[in-house]
Structure 1
Amino acid sequence: MEALFQQVLAWVAAHPTWANLILFLAALAESLAIVGIIVPGVLIMLAAGALIAAGALDLRHAWIAATLGAIIGDGLSYGLGRLLKDRVRDLWPFARHPESLARGERFFARYGTKSVVFGRFVGPIRAVVPLIAGMMGMGARPFLVANVLSAIAWAPAYLLPGIVFGASLTLAAEAATRLVILALILIALLWLAGWATRRLFALLSPHASSWVSHLLRWADLHPSMGKVARALADPAHPDAATLAGLAGLLILAAFLFGLTISITLIGPATLIVNQAVLNLGLSLHSPPADTLMVGLNRLGDPLVLLVLVAVVFLYLRWRRHRRHANYWLAAAGFALVAAPALGWLLQIPRPVAGLIELTRWSFPGSQVLGATLVYGFLAIAVARGLTPAWRWTPYVLAALIVTAVALARLYFGAEWLSDVVGSIALGLAWVAVLGLAFRRHSRFDQRWPGLVGVATLALTVGFTARTLTNHGDDLARYSPAPEPVAIAASAWRDGGWRELPHQRVDLWQHNRHPLDIQYAGPPDELAERLAPLGWHSAEPLTWRNAVRLLSPTLPLTELPVIPHIHDGHHEVLVLAKDEPGNGRRLVLRLWPTRYRLDGQAPIRVGNVTTQHKEVLVGFVALPITDDDSLPAEHRLSAELQELAETGAPLPILILPPPSGDGTPQPR
């Protein structure tokens, strides 16, 4: 994929006129009525933005090409509308789908001339608003003004996401591809969860009353089996005993289901999809990602949920909603019963050994189950007080939080994918049972802002307190150190060095920067010994100095060094040596390993690379590592030899290039 991207960059750089022509045609087609529904113009605009970030396209020329295409496309649509008038309704696809045209007409009737400006940024009606403007007899002059002004703003608005994405790819290649991929996965899955929840709500909500009526009629026809149904759907029927019985039956059903799956498949570890998701999650680890995912995981932390449940319960009792408070406790308390009971019965081990959790078992996941129960029932309670147009909002927010917790559990390998899905299903089933009974039996006032405010405050306080007191412990708990491997000093020098990694472990293994340094001494000692030879501690990129990257006039020596990640860890030592004569600088990096020299001194691996400054889109300066950096033996051999003559030898090996032969010479 990378090779294909490089080929595209080379072609665009060699044929910028053709590339801008393609961009012009894409913007034109995307703006045309009917054609714009089919042509993926937005995707082409995003791709053009990525090419701009890579330096293959000029921003000004691309902006002009996209703007002209959008102006002409909307102009042609406007002219078609003025020509055909009401005969537009007979065209495909409006003849078969008149609602799309009707939606655009309502939009135009509401906003008038401004609809041409607003409509350009609204996806579903973008391609039909100019057509409707012509059909409705809008004047040519006001349309032209609105068309030109909106196109000038539209082009950079659609190019900018691609520019940001392209710049992130460049940054990812320099720092950590896995962090960018994780961010894309999170955004995509959270968006999918929110979209699916809203669509499901829109699909089910119109039929809820009808289904309850059918349930009551069925209960009348089946007196014995209908007791459960009537307890849920009949407001006049007491339901406490029935709900308790349903909880027991639900636990038993989950146990039988889990037992059957475990026996049939000999455990979840045999599922290919489980192993694939586990491997993907573990391969995406990096220090920034660990911090982010620990935060998402904390949304389902038992102590955070306990604070939320307790505060909301006290608020409901204070407001004298005793029945509602009891339902709230029933929702949250189910996790206290189901998680240990089913865990003890099924005893499905966690994917990653060594994680310290409340229970040893993967199913049901106490945090995923607890989050589903607490946030799910809270959404039901809040939604009741909202107008129908906004009733989907709390369900979407709950789905986003539960999905975030689930993704964090998968990232850390705390549960199998099948167990996460099962925990969510178990929680949703109980929330659905309680929610139906609550909606039918409990009278709750419409003053939902108080409940939302109290719940938000409780969640914020619990989350913040847990972060301030346990963040470091949580990071250590979910990133257990691997078992150390001891190696004798003589064995290490005589060939044991081959056991250590020779390439950076990342999702894109370019094999460009081999790990050709192995060092078994204190990092500070190496820095001190190299300081007289021009090496100095490099300033790493942080949130505080990141603003320097927005100063393209700064020399390379003043730009911070972007940290590199190897096997999920940042460097333990980063040294730099400036070469102002050729606009380059040398960077020496060392990463930790699990190997210990004589069982005590840690062995670090590293390399020496060269960097140059690269300016993206005229305002972002990045220190980029050269692909053709010389091996460390060419960079450090003479300097290490000089150190050996002036002081004690260092416990360091400089390895030969991958294509060479021979053994490394200790320096």
Structure 2
Amino acid sequence: MLNSNFLIGKVIQEPFIGLVLAFLFAFIEALPIVGTLVPGIALMSLVGYWIGSNIISFYQTVLVCFIGALIGDYISYWVGLKYSTNIMNINYFKKRASLIEKAEYFLNKYGAFAIIIGRFVGPVRSSVPIIAGLLKMNVSMFFLGAVPSALLWTLIYISPGVIYASLAMSLPKSFSGQFLSYLLVVFIFSFYYRYQFEISQYLSRKLHYSAKMIHLILSFITSWSIFFWIIYSVITHSMIDHLNMPIYYLFQSMRTITWDHIMLSITYLGSVNFVASFVLIWTIFAFLEKRYTHMQHLFLNLFIMVILTHLFKAITLVPRPMIGDLISSSYSFPSGHTAVVASIMATIRWACSNNIHPSLKWTNNLYILVVGLTAISRVYLGMHWLTDVIAAIFLAHPIYCLSSVIIESKSELKIQSLLKIILISLSCMVVSMVLFPAKIDSIKNYQINRPIIEIEENNWQSKELSLLRYNRTHQTAEPFNIQYLGSMNTLDAIMAQDGWSKVDPNNLSNVIYRLDSAKFAYTMPFFKQLYLGQDPIASYYKNQGKTLYVLKLWQSEYYIKNQAVLLGTIIEVDQPNTPHPWFQKHKRIYTIKPLTHVNNNHYIIVKVSTKTSLLNQWDHQVIKIEGSNESI
């Protein structure tokens, strides 16, 4: 197996290799047949990671990927145009005749726009250009769609890697490695669940055994193996359990009032109000339309799921996370909300199909979307750990398969009926929330309270304030080696006189330049460094030769006469424009040296306690500056 660190090391030594690989990834992914088999999002995310780590240039990479994708599209178009009479005899296209017909209809109706959209539709993404050739589409019309399509595809597909690289800069090396390992496992199991029906049918032909029973057995083996492995990890506080706390704090660092309300609205899908409303309306529709198996499937699915959820909660006794001053007396593992929503969505998926393989593909996507958002909302709001929601999904899957085997005979649910059931259920939930408004007010219970500590001005210079800033996963990030009390105008003037530049995050040119400059990864990272959930109030930087100094200040919890003391950090980064992959991060030195000669008479230097000795790149000195409240 190719070692990823070895590959990254080679690209660091020869960035041209990275550009060549980026071109090949984009080119191959755009080719018909071959492109369908290539994991484009994974390969382009790797390219994005190289960009985010400053290993290869953003603009050069986007250009070569765009050219590679465009050339691949044109070759596909040319092949379709040149060999239109022979292509449909190829087995690959014969087996996908229905998809080809849909693509032809879409191209005839929407023209160039269909080429733009088609690149992002999984089953036909690499076949749309060749079909455009088959239809003798005008070459100008083809390029009208292919050019923006290739550019959009490049930007969207590299973005996950760029984002991860930016986040990894501020995360511990161990967490980044663990996260990548488990992400690989997720990709492997996603592949299995994507093709589980095909695998079951293949084994059925080989073993001469029922495909449904094989699917059921495989579901129990795979899903519950993972489920019990998660239980073992949680009980022994090992393996995936190590991600619980970092992921919890990571989500807490991203919270805003707007997203709190959105996530609370999503999490209501697993509330008693909605579940009771849905079960009632589903039952009424089942009776009226004589679809009794639909009612039986839902009841059986939910009954088993609720019993198992409460059973494992009683066995594992995992406490919930704590938000602010709120401590829940109920247990956390597994997530009941996620399990119930997964059961309901599984029944909907079952009811909208007429055999083991769902005939309506959108139901699979709807299942993933709703269950995934519910799981995310539970973790985001701090109601559950990551392992709680993952375990709930794996617990629910074989129960759904078992219910589907036990209850076979049914008629297919029409989408119109499903929409009516969902809309009426949502309406009933809203009415119940209006009549019983306690749930609406529960958002207040999940707000993170910002502490306020009043201190005397004459005690400030002798008082030891907070010394450490934690990163988004609550790992020690850096020490606070500067404290400032005074107006921002005074501070801006002090820094400008000493040759510092202030970072303007709203400057569009800075945002664009950040994509191609490692220096801006320190001065203006994509994932802002937080203290008490807030962005820096001011950031400055200064270059001295090959050394970059960065100073950032945050509003603290300490107040003197209603004015907040600003806590900050000054770092020294040597050669900041070199690559910074997660396994080879830059050494940072925390020093007050750049400020010990500023033109300001109101500062002292103090030596703090050694309790932060884990930060061995800090001499434990803090500079305390008191500026005037007026501009100097």
Task: Tell me the TM-score normalised to structure 2 length.
Answer: 0.58
Identical pairs, percent: 13
CA-to-aligned-CA distance 1:608-637 (integer Å, 9 cap, x gap): 5799xxxxxxxxxxxxxx999994553377
Deviation at residue 449 of structure 1 after TM alignment: 1.6
Given the alignment, which residue of 370, 373, 376 partners 2:340?
Answer: 370
Decide whether the 8 Å contact of 1:608 with 1:631 is kept in 2: yes
Deviation at residue 435 of structure 1 after TM alignment: 5.0
User: Matched residues in 1 for 2:303 and 2:444: separation?
Assistant: 27
1:287 equivalent in structure 2: 253
Decide whether the 8 Å contact of 2:62 with 2:154 is kept in 1: no
2:238 equivalent in structure 1: 272
User: Matched residues in 2 for 1:32 and 1:638: separation?
Assistant: 61
CA-to-aligned-CA distance 1:589-626 (integer Å, 9 cap, x gap): 22658xx99xxx99974225799xxxxxxxxxxxxxx9
Deviation at residue 505 of structure 1 after TM alignment: 2.7
CA-to-aligned-CA distance 1:17-41 (integer Å, 9 cap, x gap): x876666666666667787688888
User: Matched residues in 2 for 1:78 and 1:5: separation?
Assistant: 37
CA-to-aligned-CA distance 1:553-584 (integer Å, 9 cap, x gap): xxx9xx9997733477324x6146799xxxx9
Deviation at residue 516 of structure 1 after TM alignment: 1.2
Change (3 A) 1:592 1:167: same
Given the alignment, which residue of 74, 78, 91 partners 1:99?
Answer: 91
2:418 equivalent in structure 1: 451
2:195 equivalent in structure 1: 199
Does residue 517 (structure 1) correspond to residue 482 (structure 2)? The answer is: yes
360-369 or 455-464, which deviates more:
455-464
Instruction: Give the secondary structure class of the aligned counterpart of 1:564.
Output: coil
CA-to-aligned-CA distance 1:211-270 (integer Å, 9 cap, x gap): 99999xxxxxxxxxxxxxxxxxxxxxxxxxxxxxxxxxxxxxx9xx99x998xx6x9431
Given the alignment, which residue of 139, 148, 151 partners 1:156?
Answer: 151
Residue type of the alignment partner of 1:397: L
CA-to-aligned-CA distance 1:490-522 (integer Å, 9 cap, x gap): 99988977xx655653579998x7531257xxx
1:475 equivalent in structure 2: 446
Change (3 A) 1:518 1:549: closer
1:306 equivalent in structure 2: 273
Change (3 A) 1:288 1:371: same
Change (3 A) 1:433 1:44: closer
Residue type of the alignment partner of 1:635: L
Given the alignment, which residue of 517, 524, 534 partners 1:570?
Answer: 534
Residue type of the alignment partner of 2:195: R
Instruction: Give the secondary structure class of the aligned counterpart of 1:590.
Output: strand
Does residue 350 (structure 1) correspond to residue 295 (structure 2)? The answer is: no
User: Matched residues in 2 for 1:272 and 1:183: separation?
Assistant: 14
1:398 equivalent in structure 2: 367
2:499 equivalent in structure 1: none
User: Matched residues in 1 for 2:361 and 2:487: separation?
Assistant: 58
Deviation at residue 455 of structure 1 after TM alignment: 1.4
Change (3 A) 1:213 1:79: closer
What aligned pairs does 1:109-188 form with structure 2 within 5 A after superposition? 111=104, 121=119, 152-153=147-148, 155-162=150-157, 164-165=159-160, 168=163, 172=167
Given the alignment, which residue of 624, 629, 634 partners 2:594?
Answer: 634
Residue type of the alignment partner of 1:306: N
User: Matched residues in 2 for 1:628 and 1:56: separation?
Assistant: 25
Instruction: Give the secondary structure class of the aligned counterpart of 2:319.
Output: coil
Task: Tell me the TM-score normalised to structure 1 length.
Answer: 0.56
2:64 equivalent in structure 1: 62
Residue type of the alignment partner of 2:534: H
User: Matched residues in 2 for 1:650 and 1:496: separation?
Assistant: 10
Given the alignment, which residue of 543, 554, 568 partners 1:606?
Answer: 568
User: Matched residues in 2 for 1:460 and 1:534: separation?
Assistant: 59
Decide whether the 8 Å contact of 1:331 with 1:431 is kept in 2: yes
Decide whether the 8 Å contact of 1:305 with 1:370 is kept in 2: no
Residue type of the alignment partner of 1:365: S
Decide whether the 8 Å contact of 1:343 with 1:362 is kept in 2: yes
CA-to-aligned-CA distance 1:331-352 (integer Å, 9 cap, x gap): 55666655556544x2523274
Instruction: Give the secondary structure class of the aligned counterpart of 1:370.
Output: helix
Residue type of the alignment partner of 1:574: I
Given the alignment, which residue of 568, 589, 603 partners 2:553?
Answer: 589
Decide whether the 8 Å contact of 1:576 with 1:588 is kept in 2: yes
Instruction: Give the secondary structure class of the aligned counterpart of 1:401.
Output: helix
Question: What is the RMSD of the two structures over their aligned residues, measured on CA atoms?
Answer: 7.1
User: Matched residues in 1 for 2:24 and 2:395: separation?
Assistant: 51
Residue type of the alignment partner of 1:70: G
User: Matched residues in 1 for 2:591 and 2:256: separation?
Assistant: 32
2:577 equivalent in structure 1: none
Decide whether the 8 Å contact of 1:369 with 1:423 is kept in 2: yes
Change (3 A) 1:640 1:567: same
2:330 equivalent in structure 1: 360
Change (3 A) 1:564 1:637: farther
1:232 equivalent in structure 2: none
User: Matched residues in 2 for 1:453 and 1:283: separation?
Assistant: 39
CA-to-aligned-CA distance 1:331-383 (integer Å, 9 cap, x gap): 55666655556544x25232746896765334443223322333333443454
User: Matched residues in 2 for 1:428 and 1:377: separation?
Assistant: 11
Change (3 A) 1:332 1:213: closer
Instruction: Give the secondary structure class of the aligned counterpart of 2:602.
Output: helix
Decide whether the 8 Å contact of 1:26 with 1:41 is kept in 2: yes
Decide whether the 8 Å contact of 1:20 with 1:65 is kept in 2: no
286-295 or 183-192, which deviates more:
183-192
Instruction: Give the secondary structure class of the aligned counterpart of 1:66.
Output: helix
Instruction: Give the secondary structure class of the aligned counterpart of 2:568.
Output: strand
Residue type of the alignment partner of 1:475: Y
Residue type of the alignment partner of 2:529: I
Instruction: Give the secondary structure class of the aligned counterpart of 1:641.
Output: coil
Decide whether the 8 Å contact of 1:46 with 1:161 is kept in 2: no
59-68 or 173-182, which deviates more:
173-182
Change (3 A) 1:9 1:77: farther
Deviation at residue 313 of structure 1 after TM alignment: 0.9
Deviation at residue 74 of structure 1 after TM alignment: 4.6
Instruction: Give the secondary structure class of the aligned counterpart of 1:455.
Output: helix
Larger Rg: 1
Deviation at residue 288 of structure 1 after TM alignment: 1.8
Given the alignment, which residue of 473, 490, 505 partners 2:471?
Answer: 505
Structure 1 regions of 5+ residues with no counterpart? 216-253, 520-524, 612-625
Change (3 A) 1:19 1:574: closer
Instruction: Give the secondary structure class of the aligned counterpart of 2:534.
Output: coil
Change (3 A) 1:378 1:156: closer
Residue type of the alignment partner of 2:350: I
